[in-house]
Chains A and B, each alone.
Chain A
Amino acid sequence: MTSQYAVELRDVVKKFITPEGNELSAVDHVNMRIQNGEFFSMLGSSGCGKTTSLRMIAGFEWPTEGEVYIEGKPMGRTPPFQRPVNTVFQHYALFQHLTVFQNVAFGLEMEGATNSEIATRVGRALEMVQLRGMDRRHPKQLSGGQQQRVALARALVKVPNVLLLDEPLGALDLKLRKEMQLELKSLQQQLGITFIYVTHDQEEALTMSDRIAVMSHGKVKQVGTPVEIYERPSSHFVADFIGESNFLDGKVTASSKKEATAFVPALKTAVTGIPVSAGIVKGEDVIVSIRPEKIGISDKRVRNTNSIRGKIANTIYIGSDTHVIVDALDTRLKVWEQNHVSHLDPKSFYTVGEDVWLVLKPENTLVLKKD
């Protein structure tokens, strides 16, 4: 009999006293429901409360208010060593005086496992993270990536129901990090364990997660799948935090349940048929968000579309894409064009000062409440 949720945070508040003696809510009335077997990420910049939330699940901190439930059981002040969760720490926190084998065996010894059982399980865990044959080394003799794997094996060998990961890839270089992201994801799918992953790297969160909680100033701003978070951000903050976007002031001139029409003064045009989030009313001042990769660019006017004239202000070639900055009417828009064709001829790219037409599709536009 397992509960519906692997971990649940109900109205959790964590207050700290700053060195100046002020009270600070690191986590401010947070509610989260994390499903069994889910890869769940908490995403936010430093100080948003993601690590504090994770530490409350692990039991290193206790909530000031509210309750953390693990598999339906309220945790209260249960110490970490009695919780069915294990943690992979940001800087690995490996025991330097023990070998790789002893590090991984530590948690099993605490369970009172027999020596032969320990040997088998540690061997299997090391194999899982591809560290076979390293068992007699000390952590100092390993590379950063290998230490990271030891930390992972040390936590996974306990077969926890929930694995907590606190920016585990933060110290690795980009290439290794990308490799480990995929490896972690496939490991999670293979084991079926719930992963709760804390990161400030949105790409990492988007790559690995089933669902993401975007956090800011101790509050959860939005919870959703990577697609939902990116394509349907619920607020200006989330739209700005995840990816890049063009934000324009607008006014709602007509609205139904699903769609709205907004007049954008900067473009001297009304965009119709925009998907809206709840609670937008006619006459409201809003922010219209357009993702740069969703704006079409052309040197000729395209018929039957919402087209706007513009002038190229700058172009930046970044390999896969060209980032084009276009001055259109009273505003400046970011437009990303994929480099479909391999070309060395500079004339094939847009040149500064060139006149172009921008194509805005209403369905690629979002109306957001002002924060």
Chain B
Amino acid sequence: MLQRLRENRSLQGTLLVLPTLLWMVVLLIIPLLLILLISFGKRSPDGNVIFTFSLDNYLRLSGYSTDCPAGGRVCFDPLYLQILWRSLTLAFNTTLLVILLAYPLAYFIARAHPRRRNTFLFLVLIPLWTNFVIRVYAWMILLRQEGVINLVLGWLAGLLHLPFQPLEMLYTPGAVLVGMVYEFLPFMILPIFTSLEKIDNSLYEASADLGANSSRTFWRLTLPLSMPGVVAGTILVFIPVMGTFIVSDILGGRQVILVGNLIQRQFLDARDPTFGSAASLILMVMTLVVTYFYTRKFGFGEEIVVA
């Protein structure tokens, strides 16, 4: 038996892959198929799933409904389309802002003295030691009406004898954006740092030698060579931002509802797993489509695509 295993290379391969394969099938493929199945089902009045083939949930997501509160056979409500669109634009904006904030920081760390570099990386990672939810709550304390920011602003206004009305920051799209950017910043800094660090110093010297000053070196050399890091970071940030519901739940309240919140509520509050499953699948398709086109253009960030 052992002898046969030693000789048969394809059997060896199969054995090595088997645990992961089982894991993926049991915990990913089967649940996904279940979700697909449920999304075509109907909700029974007591909140259970009636398995059938109905497109109602998808129609409802697209805004059309046969169950009209105002009467009539078919009515249109763009509520869910708005939620999907909001999630998409928020994910775009978050990723863009995170890139803009992370790049200079990663650049600074990569060019710092090697001894200090580790300290800086350590500082970037420290927030990740605290629970995700607690970090979002911290923003609540900062942003709310009688929060730290308003307190400081009020105190400053008092000093200058200016009238002061506390700013409404919490439960706004801005608050959600700030929270998202904060949460996902490290996931952009690290890959960009890695790709910047990989650039050999002799390349900077060659660029200077050929007549490029530091700003031209940056645009012609540093930026293109660090693009793999930006691409990898974008994938790491965009996908979770599309699906997360904690940040918008805590910092957005009822004002900023994203797909993640919609799905969560269907399962936990509205007890409609069929509609929740449909929304989950649409979210997945949206993320896949965006990621597909993005990676087709830029690769996965592993290296520059050689033409």
Using a CB–CB cutoff of 8 Å, the interface residues on chain A facing chain B are 58-60, 79-81, 85-87, 89-91, 93-97, 106-107, 110-111, 138, 140-141, 154-155, 158
Report B225-264 residues with CB < 8 Å from chain A CB.
Answer: 225
Instruction: Give every chain B residue within 8 A of A89 (Cβ-Cβ).
Output: 202, 205-206
CB of A81 within 8 A of CB of B213, answer yes
Instruction: Give every chain B residue within 8 A of A111 (Cβ-Cβ).
Output: 211
Taking the closest CB of chain B, its distance from the CB of A258, in whole angstroms, is 47
Instruction: Give every chain B residue within 8 A of A86 (Cβ-Cβ).
Output: 209-210
A81-B212, A110-B212, A111-B211 known; A140 vs B206 contact (CB < 8 Å): no
Can you name the residue of chain B whose Cβ is closest to the Cβ of A138? Answer: B306
Can you name the residue of chain A whose Cβ is closest to the Cβ of B217? Answer: A81
A87-B205, A93-B205, A106-B220 known; A140 vs B210 contact (CB < 8 Å): no
CB of A138 within 8 A of CB of B205, answer no
CB of B210 within 8 A of CB of A107, answer yes
Using a CB–CB cutoff of 8 Å, the interface residues on chain B facing chain A are 200, 202-203, 205-213, 216, 220-221, 224-225, 304, 306-307
User: Number of residue pairs across A and B with beta carbons under 8 Å?
Assistant: 66
A96-B304, A97-B304 known; A154 vs B210 contact (CB < 8 Å): yes
Choice from B209, B210, B224 contacting A97 with Cβ under 8 Å: B224
CB of A110 within 8 A of CB of B306, answer no
Choice from A81, A91, A94, A138 contacting B209 with Cβ under 8 Å: A81
Choice from B211, B224, B304 contacting A110 with Cβ under 8 Å: B211
CB of A140 within 8 A of CB of B216, answer no
Choice from A80, A95, A154 contacting B208 with Cβ under 8 Å: A80
CB of B202 within 8 A of CB of A97, answer no
CB of A158 within 8 A of CB of B210, answer yes
CB of A79 within 8 A of CB of B208, answer yes
Given contacts A58-B209, A106-B207, A110-B216, 17 further A-B contacts (CB under 8 A): A58-B205, A60-B208, A60-B209, A79-B208, A80-B208, A81-B211, A81-B213, A87-B206, A87-B209, A90-B202, A91-B202, A97-B224, A107-B210, A110-B210, A110-B211, A158-B210, A158-B211
Instruction: Give every chain B residue within 8 A of A91 (Cβ-Cβ).
Output: 200, 202
Which of A80, A85, A138, A140 has the most B CB atoms < 10 Å from its CB? A80
CA distance A158 to B212 in the complex (A): 13
Instruction: Give every chain A residue within 8 A of B225 (Cβ-Cβ).
Output: 95-97
CB of A140 within 8 A of CB of B306, answer yes
Instruction: Give every chain A residue within 8 A of B216 (Cβ-Cβ).
Output: 110
Can you name the residue of chain B whose Cβ is closest to the Cβ of A96? Answer: B304
CB of A107 within 8 A of CB of B211, answer yes
Can you name the residue of chain A whose Cβ is closest to the Cβ of B303? Answer: A96
Instruction: Give every chain B residue within 8 A of A90 (Cβ-Cβ).
Output: 202
Instruction: Give every chain A residue within 8 A of B211 (Cβ-Cβ).
Output: 81, 107, 110-111, 158
Instruction: Give every chain B residue within 8 A of A110 (Cβ-Cβ).
Output: 210-212, 216
The list of the 4 closest CB pairs from A to B, nearest first, reads A107-B210, A110-B211, A93-B202, A93-B206
Show 8 A/B contacts (Cβ-Cβ < 8 Å), sorted by A.
A60-B205, A80-B209, A86-B210, A91-B202, A93-B200, A110-B210, A138-B307, A155-B210
Taking the closest CB of chain A, its distance from the CB of B273, in whole angstroms, is 49
Taking the closest CB of chain B, its distance from the CB of A364, in whole angstroms, is 45
Can you name the residue of chain B whose Cβ is closest to the Cβ of A111? Answer: B211
Taking the closest CB of chain A, its distance from the CB of B196, in whole angstroms, is 14
CA distance A140 to B306 in the complex (A): 9
CB of B205 within 8 A of CB of A80, answer yes
CA distance A365 to B210 in the complex (A): 48
Instruction: Give every chain B residue within 8 A of A155 (Cβ-Cβ).
Output: 209-210
CB of A95 within 8 A of CB of B221, answer yes
Choice from A81, A95, A158 contacting B203 with Cβ under 8 Å: A95
Instruction: Give every chain A residue within 8 A of B210 (Cβ-Cβ).
Output: 81, 86, 106-107, 110, 154-155, 158
CA distance A89 to B203 in the complex (A): 9
Which of B209, B225, B304 has the most A CB atoms < 10 Å from its CB? B209
Instruction: Give every chain B residue within 8 A of A93 (Cβ-Cβ).
Output: 200, 202-203, 205-206
